[in-house]
Amino acid sequence: MSRLSFEVEDQDLLGRNGRLETKSGIVETPLLFPVINPKVQLLPSREIKQSLRCEAVITNAYLLKKNFGDMPLERGVHALLDFDGVVMTDSGAYQNLLYGRVKISPAEVIHYQEAIGSDIAVILDVPTGWRVSWDYARETVEETLRRGRELFTLKAREDILWVGPVQGGRYIDLIVRSAKAMGELPFDIHALGSPTRIMEQYLFTTLVDMIIAAKTNLPLERPLHLFGAGHPLILPLAVASGCDTFDSAAYAIYARDGRYMTERGTAHLNKLRYFPCSCPLCSRYNPEEVMEMDEEERVRFLEGHNLHVCFSEIRRIKQAIKEGRLWEHLEWKAHGHPALTRALKRLKDYREILEKETPITKKAGLFYFNSIGLNRPEISRYCKRLSERYSTPRNTVVLVLMPQAEGGPYHISAKKQSFLEELNRELGDLNGKVHVCLYKIPFGVVPLELDDVYPLSQYEYVTPPDLETLEYVSNQISTFITQRNYKGAILLLDVKKDQESEYFAENFAKTCRLKGVSCKIQKSENIWGKESLGNLLRDIRDLISRI
């Protein structure tokens, strides 16, 4: 990565907190670059930096050249924008997509961005667009790749981070082809192009597919940028899918249209009676007062507020990654729109890559709300490893499945620990033939010796669990029994939990019958009482005597 670096500090799912070094300083990711157009900008760049602690902005090199002549060359892009942070410049490719042609060559754009002193620069790629044929999309991929290769014969400076765009639009096979080829070139950053129409139509499942297709076929050590994404509604999903940086003009476009951003969507200012925000701007005015402002003042207010909402969301994402709670944050955000919930469910298709990149242990426990959480890496990873790596203790012939201990591992509960100690004493020499396991929502079977392992006791879940969760746990119990050679099995059920008892008892008995395992089901209102212990000892001895 030239002489500069990208260092990852925290990671969760495919999201990561990092530090990106540029010639104008180090910026933290995830990072949002507000789009600055000095020709129409009402909220000054200096004010954006001071009031929002904005580290970086993006402007359009083609529009600078078109609208300001030699001024950017004479003053430099930082002075022109009055911004002493990091400045990224786009190449005009988006204008090419909108209008069909820009009057500048790929070589001119490269030399121009070097001359004005960009910190991060983008080649003049060929955006694929949305409603185009596969053949046309392939041409955009190949031409963008040709221009990407050309960069390294033309560029003169080594202190600029160059962005290698990935094209292909909605054609995932072309995104994969583009990402692999661009990843072989020594770019510092990569960017996924053509997402705007997809986000406008709320096709978030397609967006997830596109991002992960690019991410998994690019060098993971390089940041991934997402063009045209800056709404707080979509940012967490994009980060979790693998994006590190974003740019957006939505804050200003919405402001000019009288639209007010919120965490969960966008509202028209004239329909608001109260501001659902306590940023410095919203704390000073109410909607009626803002409506009475002159147009320029009102637009500035909305631009400032919209940026506050965007940057607040970026900070929430960073903190969620830091705490290992990005999945919980995604679930919370998914309630903002059904399309987000569908996209979160789509992550099920990417369990393997999410497991690989998510830390094995975290500083905080998990919150499990409903069956959507079954797709999170911690759960799928445990079930996969239990199936592939766990060996039953030697000489055991009887499996005893007991309910989980609420409030932590078994050794924390004096009542349950006493129950197990008494069971071991009474069994005596039979201990080695009995394997005690727990069944836990949402993990399924947890051998007692693994009860302390993260996250098997470091979590909380909603009761009663939904039907999909019960079905999943029941199936995990069946898989565990099917994969092992027990001769007998006993299931302890709490009759106060009718729903669980019904699901687990029926499936347990069916699995044992098909496997040829002798089984008993013990139901009790006081699982940890003396009567329950006596019944369990009787059933264990009975099964062992018949084996």
| The CATH number of the domain covering residues in 6-324 | 3.20.20.105
Residue 531 CB coordination number (10 Å): 10
CA distance 338 to 344: 10
Closest C-alpha among 32, 5, 51 to residue 284: 51
Q: Could you report the per-residue pLDDT of 373-400, keeping only the tens digit for each?
A: 999 999 999 999 999 999 999 989 999 9
Q: Could you report the per-residue pLDDT of 403-460, keeping only the tens digit for each?
A: 887 666 666 677 788 888 888 898 888 888 999 999 999 999 999 999 989 999 999 9
pLDDT at residue 1 tops 60: no
CA distance 38 to 56: 15
For the ranges 112-126, 145-159, 190-204, the lowest mean pLDDT is seen at 190-204
User: In percent, how much of the chain has pLDDT > 90?
Assistant: 77
pLDDT at residue 340 tops 90: yes
State the pTM of this model: 0.92
Q: Could you report the per-residue pLDDT of 464-483, keeping only the tens digit for each?
A: 899 999 999 999 999 999 99
For residues 12 and 27, is the Cβ–Cβ distance under 8 A? Answer: no
Which amino acid, 417? Q
Tokens of 156: 């003169």
Closest C-alpha among 252, 337, 258, 331 to residue 291: 258
Q: What value does the mean pLDDT of the chain take?
A: 92
For the ranges 90-94, 312-316, 474-478, the lowest mean pLDDT is seen at 90-94
pLDDT at residue 283 tops 80: yes
| Region 104-125 average pLDDT | 95
Give the pLDDT confidence score for residue 159 in this predicted structure. 95
The owner of tokens 């098997």 is: 456
Q: Give 90-120 as a DSSP string.
A: E-SHHHHHHHS--S--HHHHHHHHHHHT-SE
**CATH top-level class of 366-546:** alpha beta
CA distance 188 to 176: 19
Q: What are the residue ranges of helices labelled H in 90-248?
A: 93-99, 106-116, 134-154, 172-183, 196-200, 204-215, 235-241
- Model confidence at 512, pLDDT cuts 50, 70, 90, reads very high
Residue intervals in the chain for CATH 3.40.50.10630: 366-546
Q: Which residues are catalytic?
A: 90
Residue intervals in the chain for CATH 3.20.20.105: 6-324
- The helix/strand/coil state of 14 is coil
Q: Kindly tell me the sign of the dihedral angle through the C-alpha atoms of 190, 149, 162, 104.
A: negative
Query: With the CA atoms of 65, 68, 70 and 71 taken in that order, what torsion angle do they form, in degrees rounded to the nearest 10?
Result: -130
Tokens of 512: 């044992």
